[in-house]
Structure 1
Amino acid sequence: MLKGLRTRTGSVRGRRGVVAAALAAVAVASLGAVSVASAGPSDKPRPGHDRALQAELEAIVKDGSVPGVLMSVRDRNGRVTDYTAGVGDIRTKSKVPVDGHVRIASITKMFTAVATLQLAGEGKLALDDTVEKHLPGLIRGTGDGASVHGGNMTVRQLLNHTSGMTSEMPLLSQGILPVKDRYFEARELLDASLTREPAFAPGQERVFSYSNTGYITLGLLVQKVTGRPLAEVITEKIIKPAGLKETYYPGPGDREIRSPHPRGYLFEKTDKGEPIPGKLVDITRFDPSIAGAAGQMIATPSDINKFLVALESRLLKPRELAEMRKTVETALFPGWRYGLGVIEMKLSCGITAYGHGGDADGFQTRAAITPDGRAVTIAATNDEAGVMEVISVFDKALCAK
């Protein structure tokens, strides 16, 4: 399933996924000139290449459960070092492409949040507006979700996952394989989720409850306010101004990933749905519309780092950036808090950072930037294995001197 696109509790992969998403946090910094150095296991080390980080990446792919890993590190002076380990295709044994395209899953939420905050900065909506004001009559629960109503939640609450909207994704109840070639409209995703019981009833104390449905709703809100498709808004207002050449929102029917890219894998499952270690299924090609505004996008690691840098300097006004960093408690890990589309966390070295992460079938990604401008994005080509190992390297790369 698209683990990074649903709640991280109540499933075999639940707790692990939320941990992964939360660890993808981080602040923002100034944009500098960038030079590129890459290194793989057989490459001669180049300036900026960290042998210790490379060794840890090699350890992640050693047993083959995670076929490949790619990581891009941008230091505080703007120099970029790209790392790879493992193979990009288990059939051909080809190398992992340096800075290849990957599904970034819930990192998409940062883009959706920025689009929403830009509208707030332009005076076209207020963060404390009710959802009903902009999408009248749309948010009406049915069945077990009968108490859900757009008048009982605000734009801010959608952004920081305190709206109470369900954490479930009913159309993914059987996993990705039965629906991998299905195209879904956002309204179809929303209507399915509105049949589910909310995380808490109106009038109860609001708490953090990770909801992809909330971000599907934000995508519809952005489209309603702008009168344009969400993909166009993100492209014209975020991707182009940030100078992102390798980041895109797949169009209707687009099931491929632009080249170069590694292939993504799932474990083969038993009849009971249990992973079979050592047996991998290629899940590179599927329709990401099941994720929509909560996790549909594709990018390269270095482009995500550029996005994080541009976020502070160009994409949002100071007031909206400050709003983005107003956080709520999450119960993810001690010291971790969620803002408006970003997670605030403390790294092992004590630095506070902001960013996000995501898990789509076949890919786990983590992206972050420190206050002094060190950015790291890492991606692995199996989201069901090596999760904590990937997070450990991610943390060390951000903390490295």
Structure 2
Amino acid sequence: MGDSLHTIDDNGQASRVSPRPSAAATLLSAAAAGSRAEPDAADGRDRPELREAIQAVVDTGFAGAQMRVHDERGEWVGSAGVRKLGETAEPHRNGLFRVASTTKTFVATLVLQLVAEGRIGLDDTVAGHLTRFGLDRRVTVRMLLQHTSGVHNFTGEPGPDGVHGQGLPAWGKEWVDTRLRAYRPEELVEFALSKPARFEPGTAFSYSNTNYVLAALLVGELTGRPYGEEMRRRILEPLGLRDTVVPGARLEIPGPHAHGYYRYEDAGEWKVVDVTRQNPSLLHGAGEMISTTRDLHMFFSTLLGGGLLPAPLLAEMLTPDPTIGYGLGLFVQELGSDCGGGTIVHHNGGSPGGYGTLMISTPDGRRTLTASLTTGDAEMDPVAEFPQVLEGLIKAVFCEGRP
């Protein structure tokens, strides 16, 4: 299907105008007002190709999947697999899940709203606002959002052998044993800055969770309120995203959800543990949020439809770095000729915590795919299997000539 879709997990393995809600945003907010997650919403219409695509995810080895598609044929929601190992119930069709690095698109939007208000410029340096860290004074807001700052990734950088190192516990037995630990965002940044920068600011691309911890802290400095509070005030409440939360250090998923599992090797023995309860503060601003497929669709379609940012800043967001096709908190990708061409934008997410997220759309927000995948006890490597799974879903939803 041409080039494979970029996937990066939470360890890094990728004029003054105030925005006003558009008519689309108002309609979405009204539709969502007063309702919480509806775990078993009906499909609405039969779409065999989508049922087959989501079943293929489970057949690959994932424990469960839930998916929502919006296109010219309407809305379709479905699920496959199980919500908990040892049981038979399918995942909730609009259950809550950890969205991992999809958080970054929300944070980038929040920062760009502050740019729109003239509180800071895209090419302003960050060090003067976050003085306690002693950041390189060449690092700008744009570099944080586009991963071109060169700042070390606190969850680890790949070595010459491809193995991640020099990071806080973010995988393997060490992460399992420490997954309930609370972190302060400042210690994440301080750890990263204790390591050498990867390159001179602005000279290359390197996906780093540290960039978005800094971006979240920048929101707090500019507004006087924690970024989670600003997220609620500016995005979640206006759009009626009542099932999307910034959890901080809270361990639980606050609503109906599928369980996430982690398979790891310990002293030569493979083990599987339920990691649904975990402390998301390790990924403050970079991968901590919780949401649903409905809320992700509402957010992404409204953002791309112009309901959250003025047109010039939305255009900046969708202008990719030529190295890997990353804009400001979003990947921008051309589909191959065997898919009929065209462009998709996305920010997927994955973490050792058992959850993977898809948030993919056409650039105008009119055709979207939002989904959650959960891992179980299958002897499979989710990172290795994911590209094939993703290719099937993209083909079913975005390729021309699909059924």
What is the TM-score with the length of structure 1 in the denominator?
Answer: 0.81
State how far apart, in whole Å, the 1-side matches of 2:257 and 2:111 are: 30
Matches within 5 A, 1:168-247: 168-169=154-155, 170-172=167-169, 175=172, 176-201=175-200, 206-247=203-244
Q: Secondary structure at the match of 2:105?
A: helix
The question of 1:356 aligning with 2:351 is answered no
Displacement, 1:167? 2.8
Letter in 1 for 2:90: K
State how far apart, in whole Å, the 1-side matches of 2:112 and 2:255 are: 32
Letter in 2 for 1:322: A
Displacement, 1:96? 1.0
State how far apart, in whole Å, the 1-side matches of 2:54 and 2:333 are: 23
Letter in 1 for 2:369: V
Q: 1:288-347: CA deviations, max 9, x gaps?
A: 00001001000001110110111133211112111212221234xxxxx11111110123
Letter in 2 for 1:355: H
Kept after mapping to 1: 8 A contact 2:300/2:365: no
Q: 1:93-115: CA deviations, max 9, x gaps?
A: 32211111110001000111011
Kept after mapping to 2: 8 A contact 1:380/1:390: no
* Cα gap change, 1:137 to 1:245, in 2 (>3 Å): closer
State how far apart, in whole Å, the 2-side matches of 1:57 and 1:317 are: 35
Kept after mapping to 1: 8 A contact 2:11/2:170: no
State how far apart, in whole Å, the 1-side matches of 2:309 and 2:226 are: 20
Matches within 5 A, 1:177-326: 177-201=176-200, 206-252=203-249, 254-271=250-267, 276=270, 280-311=272-303, 312-326=305-319
* Cα gap change, 1:46 to 1:135, in 2 (>3 Å): closer
Kept after mapping to 2: 8 A contact 1:377/1:394: no
Letter in 1 for 2:287: G
Match of 2:361 in 1: 369
Displacement, 1:116? 0.5
* Cα gap change, 1:357 to 1:372, in 2 (>3 Å): closer
Displacement, 1:134? 1.5
Deviation larger for 90-99 or 234-243: 90-99
The question of 1:330 aligning with 2:329 is answered no
Q: Secondary structure at the match of 2:127?
A: helix
Match of 2:161 in 1: none
Q: Secondary structure at the match of 2:348?
A: strand
Q: 1:171-224: CA deviations, max 9, x gaps?
A: 22554212211111100111111112211136xx61111010011011111100
Q: Secondary structure at the match of 1:73?
A: strand
Displacement, 1:246? 1.4
* Cα gap change, 1:93 to 1:327, in 2 (>3 Å): same
Q: Secondary structure at the match of 2:278?
A: coil
Deviation larger for 343-352 or 124-133: 343-352
* Cα gap change, 1:320 to 1:362, in 2 (>3 Å): same
| Percent identity between the two aligned chains | 33
The question of 1:339 aligning with 2:327 is answered yes
Match of 2:11 in 1: 6
Displacement, 1:226? 0.4
Letter in 2 for 1:82: V
* Cα gap change, 1:259 to 1:200, in 2 (>3 Å): same
Displacement, 1:45? 7.1
The question of 1:93 aligning with 2:84 is answered no
Kept after mapping to 1: 8 A contact 2:43/2:77: no
State how far apart, in whole Å, the 2-side matches of 1:155 and 1:286 are: 30
Displacement, 1:29? 11
Displacement, 1:287? 0.5
Letter in 1 for 2:308: L
Deviation larger for 117-126 or 358-367: 358-367
Q: Secondary structure at the match of 1:294?
A: coil
Kindly report structure 1 stretches of 4+ aligned residues shifted beyond 4 Å: 28-35, 43-46
Match of 1:106 in 2: 101
Displacement, 1:62? 2.8
Q: 1:135-168: CA deviations, max 9, x gaps?
A: 1242x3xxxxxxxx33021010000000001134
CA RMSD of aligned residues (A): 2.7
* Cα gap change, 1:395 to 1:30, in 2 (>3 Å): farther
Q: Secondary structure at the match of 1:189?
A: helix
Q: 1:10-64: CA deviations, max 9, x gaps?
A: xxxxxxxx3xxxxxxxxx99567779xx999xx99752x321221232232136x
Displacement, 1:372? 5.8
Q: 1:338-392: CA deviations, max 9, x gaps?
A: 1111110123331212220101220111101113601111211029423123312
Match of 1:72 in 2: 68
Deviation larger for 126-135 or 343-352: 343-352
Structure 2 residue corresponding to 1:61, chosen from 58, 62, 76? 58
* Cα gap change, 1:45 to 1:353, in 2 (>3 Å): closer
Q: Secondary structure at the match of 1:201?
A: coil
